[in-house]
Structure 1
Amino acid sequence: MAQQDRAVQTRDRIVTAAAGAFYRVGYADASITTIANAAGVTKGALYFHFGSKEEIARAVIDEQHLRVTTAAQEIWIATASPAETMMLMCADLAERLVDDVVVRAGIRLTNGGAIFDPPTRAPYDDWLLTFEELVGGAVGAGEFLPSTDAARLAHFIIPAYTGVQLLSDVLTNMGDLKERIGEMWEILLAAVAEPARLEELRALGARIFGTAG
């Protein structure tokens, strides 16, 4: 059991070290030697766990997606309002993109889909399905207009978030990401919220994204 624990810990160290390297210098310039040195393991130990750099990168993406979807599920379970749930999920991801190098590197690798063949699309598919269900829930709860098309709005929110995140990364190194996502939601709510619920939802957004007052 102790040997299994050590193997898991070694694998985790490699994934974390690789995330740091991929984020700092990019996938192409992060060498196996650099990753092994950062993880404090030999190249032989690294290859025991991973057969290639691409396999390590996919493990970073998988770990990133596990972390953010686990948090998203916890938010969903704990929150009654579908609209609030979506905003909380967006805010949580924004915070993790600033604070968690595995999430930050994993998202960057996912956005750079041309790196892999076939491209990594599973995280996008998961988020699209999640938000389609939540948008439908917001319509059913009287938070969003009855005319709102859940699938179409989900296919707008996820790419919009991705675009805001990419620009925030370039312009401020994610320093303004949560604020910009809050602005994105202000615009969305003005377009899709039931008029009778708009001020309530705006107040929720201001609290969640730190723009109250």
Structure 2
Amino acid sequence: MTRQARAVETRAVIIRAAADVFGVHGYGGASMADICEAAGLTKGALYFHFDSKEALAWGVIDAQHERALALGTDLLHSDQPGLHVLMRLTFELGKQVREDAVSRAGIRLTLESSSLSTPVVTPYEDWMAACELLLRRAILDGDVRADLDVAAAAHFISPAFTGVQVVSGVLTGRADLMQRLVEMWSFLLPSLVVPERWEQLRPLAQEMADRWGR
């Protein structure tokens, strides 16, 4: 293995270990010593890659954002209708955060960003931009009302998803997340969908939960 490949592998080990520690203890409760122990590395090896706890927190946040972006990019470039993609994205992101420790830790650190020297804004901006793009596509598809205030809707859907998955995490460890997302969409869809598409689209959230919630 080349030196560069070893460095990439070591960095990945550190990110996974940091995600485990941050995910349990949060930013304030985590220590570099805890992360060294979890990673099975010396302090020197850890500090070679990340010179502070904040730098390491940003590494986890960036890794989580990359995972979400990869999922979103695949769906955005699919030929599915915009509303289907937007809904599917929430369920697949929900599945991702339930199953992936880095995703869970990145979200927790994003919510705790007041502890960092720089606010975490890019993930929120990217998510809202994706919502807006997909809603505009959904209008062209004929699924969503043409008079919808797309920017306002995007700014609502993004924090709605964030709130739903955070509260689900607190109350049930996200065990009930898929059902909570079904409920979220049951409230959102009537304000988005054109009446003639309602009967066709009403069961979509439950179908997605059944498919991606396993």
What's the TM-score, normalizing by structure 1?
A: 0.95
Find the counterpart in structure 2 of residue 30 from structure 1: 30
Find the counterpart in structure 1 of residue 16 from structure 2: 16
Question: Could you tell me how far apart the structure 2 residues matched to 1:36 and 1:178 are?
Answer: 35
Query: Offset of 1:5 from its aligned partner?
Result: 0.6
Query: Offset of 1:37 from its aligned partner?
Result: 1.1
Find the counterpart in structure 2 of residue 173 from structure 1: 173
Find the counterpart in structure 2 of residue 43 from structure 1: 43
Pair 1:204-2:207 in alignment: no
RCO higher in structure (CA 8 A, sep ≥6): 2
Find the counterpart in structure 2 of residue 147 from structure 1: 147
Task: Report if the CA contact (8 A) 1:132-1:154 is conserved.
Answer: yes
Tell me the SS of whatever aligns to 2:12. helix
Aligned-residue sequence identity (percent) comes to 42
Question: Could you tell me how far apart the structure 2 residues matched to 1:29 and 1:163 are?
Answer: 23
Find the counterpart in structure 1 of residue 194 from structure 2: 194
Find the counterpart in structure 1 of residue 184 from structure 2: 184
Task: Report if the CA contact (8 A) 2:26-2:108 is conserved.
Answer: no
Range that drifts further, 18-27 or 196-205: 196-205
Tell me the SS of whatever aligns to 2:174. coil
Query: Offset of 1:126 from its aligned partner?
Result: 0.5
Counterpart of 1:10, as a letter, is T
Counting matched residue pairs gives 211
The runs of 5 or more residues in structure 1 that have no matched partner are none
Question: Could you tell me how far apart the structure 1 residues matched to 2:152 and 2:137 are?
Answer: 14
Find the counterpart in structure 2 of residue 52 from structure 1: 52
Range that drifts further, 153-162 or 196-205: 196-205
Tell me the SS of whatever aligns to 1:26. helix
Query: Offset of 1:111 from its aligned partner?
Result: 1.4
Query: Offset of 1:113 from its aligned partner?
Result: 2.2
Question: Could you tell me how far apart the structure 1 residues matched to 2:7 and 2:202 are?
Answer: 48
Over aligned residue pairs, what C-alpha RMSD do you find?
A: 1.2
Question: Could you tell me how far apart the structure 1 residues matched to 2:63 and 2:162 are?
Answer: 19
Pair 1:4-2:14 in alignment: no
Find the counterpart in structure 1 of residue 61 from structure 2: 61
Counterpart of 1:35, as a letter, is I
Task: Note closer, same or farther for the CA distance 1:111–1:79 as it changes in structure 2 (3 Å cut).
Answer: farther
Task: Report if the CA contact (8 A) 2:136-2:150 is conserved.
Answer: yes
Range that drifts further, 10-19 or 163-172: 163-172
Question: Could you tell me how far apart the structure 1 residues matched to 2:88 and 2:205 are?
Answer: 9
Question: Could you tell me how far apart the structure 1 residues matched to 2:82 and 2:110 are?
Answer: 26
Question: Could you tell me how far apart the structure 2 residues matched to 1:41 and 1:53 are?
Answer: 15
Query: Offset of 1:117 from its aligned partner?
Result: 2.0
Question: Could you tell me how far apart the structure 2 residues matched to 1:13 and 1:30 are?
Answer: 17
Task: Report if the CA contact (8 A) 1:179-1:210 is conserved.
Answer: no
Question: Could you tell me how far apart the structure 2 residues matched to 1:209 and 1:80 are?
Answer: 17
Counterpart of 1:191, as a letter, is S
Task: Report if the CA contact (8 A) 1:145-1:192 is conserved.
Answer: yes
State the Cα deviation string for residues 85-135 of structure 1 (Å, max 9, x = none). 001110011001110000000011111221212211010010111111111
Range that drifts further, 168-177 or 69-78: 69-78
Find the counterpart in structure 1 of residue 72 from structure 2: 72
Find the counterpart in structure 2 of residue 114 from structure 1: 114
